[in-house]
């Protein structure tokens, strides 16, 4: 057992790399590149791209420690039978889930836009978890995979902070996992939501977990 310490708020975060997983939420072309699902909702997707470099550096350290690494992808079966009608209609998007875009059908599994950005592409042995919802635990086998590896803590990166990252952190928290969210490794289309979402995680003595950043995570991992 190796107890490492990461500087974080509201207080230092201790973790053992053997029982810690890095979870990278939905770093898909559909959310961070033009022509995808994120843009169809009316967002400027370029704002999320600043997360790629810091995530790359954390990913490299976690790979060096042979930690469990999970990449999630939000998306649906090509026939959309796993997409609730409410999700399909919500927000009056310019193009709906399943409509054609410049990277293939929006948010559909197997399409170019659904895949992970090349800079963070998974390597052999890493988990790629397809999820139909915003939370990574809903209608997936994530909890089983984590429990089988005796994982107790999660280092959380990805997009977007107030949607899929927050939903996943809340789900993980209720299942007894300790989560640390790295603020420069998570991104929102809305700066005010980024700030509020991070404040919510660490408020009330860490009601949902801890907030740190890539530099402090890398320092803790000895990088
Ligand atoms: N729209 C938005 O902010 N996010 C999503 O739809 N999904 C994720 O956060 N991955």
CB 160 less than 6 A from any atom of ligand 1: yes
Question: pLDDT digit string (tens) for 73-92?
Answer: 999 999 999 999 999 988 77
Residue 18 Cα to ligand 1 middle (Å): 30
Contact between 130 and 141 (Cβ < 8 Å): no
Question: pLDDT digit string (tens) for 169-198?
Answer: 999 999 999 999 999 999 999 999 999 999
Q: Which atom of ligand 1 is nearest to the CA of 160?
A: 9
Predicted confidence at residue 92, as pLDDT, reads 74
CB 163 less than 6 A from any atom of ligand 1: yes
Predicted confidence at residue 146, as pLDDT, reads 99
Please tell me the pTM assigned to this model: 0.98
- Alpha carbon nearest to ligand 1 atom 1, residue: 38
CB 41 less than 6 A from any atom of ligand 1: yes
* Residues of the chain predicted below pLDDT 50: none
Cα gap 113→134, rounded to integer Å: 17
Cα gap 26→67, rounded to integer Å: 19
Predicted confidence at residue 72, as pLDDT, reads 99
Predicted confidence at residue 223, as pLDDT, reads 85
DSSP 8-state secondary structure symbol assigned to residue 81: T
Contact between 211 and 202 (Cβ < 8 Å): yes
Predicted confidence at residue 95, as pLDDT, reads 86
Predicted confidence at residue 206, as pLDDT, reads 97
Give the SS3 label for residue 74. strand
Element (H, E) at 20: strand 20-25
Buried b / exposed e along 44-59 (16+ C-beta atoms within 10 A): ebebbeebbebbebbb
Contact between 45 and 38 (Cβ < 8 Å): yes
Active-site positions? Answer: 26, 131, 164
């Amino acid at each position: 057992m190796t107890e490492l310490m990461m500087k974080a708020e509201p207080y230092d975060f201790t973790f053992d790399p053997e029982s810690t997983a890095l979870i990278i939420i939905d770093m898909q072309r559909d959310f961070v590149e033009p022509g995808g699902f994120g843009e169809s909702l009316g967002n400027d997707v370029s704002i999320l791209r600043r997360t790629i470099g810091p995530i790359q550096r954390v990913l490299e350290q976690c790979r060096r420690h042979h930690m469990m690494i999970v990449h999630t992808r939000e998306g649906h079966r090509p026939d959309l039978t796993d997409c609730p009608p409410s999700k399909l209609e919500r927000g009056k998007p310019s193009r709906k889930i399943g409509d054609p875009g410049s990277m293939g059908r929006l948010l559909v599994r197997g399409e170019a836009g659904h895949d992970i950005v090349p800079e963070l592409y998974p390597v052999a042995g890493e988990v790629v978890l397809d999820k139909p919802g915003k939370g990574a635990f809903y209608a997936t086998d994530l909890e089983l995979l984590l429990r089988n590896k005796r994982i107790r803590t999660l280092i959380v990166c990805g997009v977007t902070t107030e949607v899929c990252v927050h939903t996943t952190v809340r789900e993980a928290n209720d299942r007894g996992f300790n989560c640390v969210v790295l603020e420069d490794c998570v991104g929102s289309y809305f700066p005010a939501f980024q700030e509020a979402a991070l404040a919510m995680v660490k408020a009330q003595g860490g009601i949902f977990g801890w907030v740190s950043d890539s530099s402090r995570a890398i320092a803790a991992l000895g990088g």
